[in-house]
Amino acid sequence: MRDINISELERKFQEKIDNDVKIEPNDWMPEEYRQTLIRQISQHAHSEIVGMLPEGNWITRAPNLRRKAVLLAKVQDEAGHGLYLYSATETLGADREETIDDLHSGKAKYSSIFNYPTLTWADMGAIGWLVDGAAIMNQVPLCRCSYGPYARAMVRVCKEESFHQRQGFEIMTQLAQGTPEQKAMAQDALNRFWWPALMMFGPSDADSKHTAQSVQWKIKRHTNDELRQQFVEVTVPQAELIGLTVPDKDLKFNEANGHYEFGEIDWTEFWEVVKGNGPCNKDRLDARRKAKENGMWVREAANAFAAKRAARKSA
């Protein structure tokens, strides 16, 4: 009897997915669907939060007040995205504290891109242009994700990412048109961030263990390789426009099919960074743990205040 009910629920669930009806928190969903969403959304939330660190590193050293105000706003936006996304995991039954503890213990993943250092001001341009550019490419389709709260959160996130991408491209454009030293700085940032940006899209389709199921459930609308290709198509002409060179000797435009072909990604480097052995993995987690410890007194005070207010109300 139970089996019949479950298969009926599964049938109705799949029917909704097939008809592009959003799944909402109180709807029945297969446990694996729920777990897949918690995994992806929490990794995404962690990426937003850890992603504040490489750019936060330059707020005090932004070259002028306008740049400082814009960078500050961008980094604050990333915090907002993280909070939205942690809330989305809570709608699936995840516990926020446990989710964050998993990041701090090194158990949870976050995007590989944030384990690279930001060495010069041009890196702020490269991150906005390439990293937020890649994020937009990946996240615009997530606005049509089958899970309602995630899809809706992505709408605002993508609007803000568009502003981030433009501010990054503006920094790169100015540097590329500046002195020879400034242009060299922009080129160096592109050289260091190009390949890690391509890695953001995840392993190649042949090695992606979750894509097939996630596409079937309409969590993902495209495969990793499809999105990576789209990113290359859009970004290479932008580099050419501002006179910078994409650091890939195998990059070429195929006149016959109208697409770019690009070189092989260093997958050994990618997996090493994902496993925790990138240049900044340790620094990033240390910084997040320290932030939690330093903010402990605020949470304790807020909890004590809430408890006191609750006691007063019930008295």
Question: For residue 86, what are the contacts with CB-CB under 8 A and spacing of at least 6?
Answer: 42, 45, 96, 99, 100
Largest CA distance in the chain: 78
Q: How far is the CB of 3 from ligand BYC (least distance, A)?
A: 29
In the bound state, the residue with its beta carbon closest to ligand BYC is 51
The Cα 162–Cα 154 span in angstroms is 12
Q: How far is the CB of 308 from ligand BYC (least distance, A)?
A: 37
**Closer of 182 and 208 to ligand BYC (Cβ):** 208
For the chain, helix, strand, coil in percent to 5 are 70, 5, 25
**Closer of 221 and 292 to ligand BYC (Cβ):** 221
**Closer of 204 and 238 to ligand BYC (Cβ):** 204
**Closer of 78 and 123 to ligand BYC (Cβ):** 78
Q: How far is the CB of 112 from ligand BYC (least distance, A)?
A: 3
Residue ranges in contact with ligand BYC by CB under 6 A: 39-40, 43-44, 47-48, 51, 78, 109, 111-112, 131-132, 135, 138, 199-203, 208-211, 214, 224, 274
**Closer of 282 and 309 to ligand BYC (Cβ):** 282
- Match 């890695």 to its residue by tokens: 199
Q: How far is the CB of 146 from ligand BYC (least distance, A)?
A: 14
The Cα 69–Cα 59 span in angstroms is 8
Q: How far is CA 283 from CA 102, 128, 228, 279, 286, in A?
A: 16, 21, 28, 9, 5
Q: How far is the CB of 74 from ligand BYC (least distance, A)?
A: 8
